[in-house]
Chain A
Amino acid sequence: QKEVEQNSGPLSVPEGAIASLNCTYSDRGSQSFFWYRQYSGKSPELIMSIYSNGDKEDGRFTAQLNKASQYVSLLIRDSQPSDSATYLCAVKLKGREAALIFGKGTTLSVSS
Chain B
Amino acid sequence: GAVVSQHPSRVICKSGTSVKIECRSLDFQATTMFWYRQFPKQSLMLMATSNEGSKATYEQGVEKDKFLINHASLTLSTLTVTSAHPEDSSFYICSARDALTGSHEQYFGPGTRLTVT
A interface residues with partner B (beta carbon < 8 Å): 32, 34, 36, 42-46, 49, 88, 90, 92, 97-105
Contacts and interface: CB of A to CB of B under 8 A. Distances in A.
B31 to A, nearest CB: 10
Contacts of B34: 98-100
A19 B109 CA distance: 27
B44 A102 contact: yes
Contacts of B103: 49
A99 B109 contact: no
Interface of B: 32, 34, 42-44, 46, 49, 51, 57, 93, 97, 103-111
A86 to B, nearest CB: 9
A90 B93 CA distance: 15
Say whether chain A's binding surface is mostly helix, strand, loop, or mixed.
Answer: strand
A27 to B, nearest CB: 14
Given A32-B104, A44-B93, A101 B46 contact: yes
Nearest to B107: A46
A34 B49 CA distance: 18
Contacts of A32: 104
A92 B44 CA distance: 14
Contacts of B51: 97
Contacts of A103: 43
Contacts of B32: 97-98
A11 B70 CA distance: 40
A93 B49 CA distance: 14
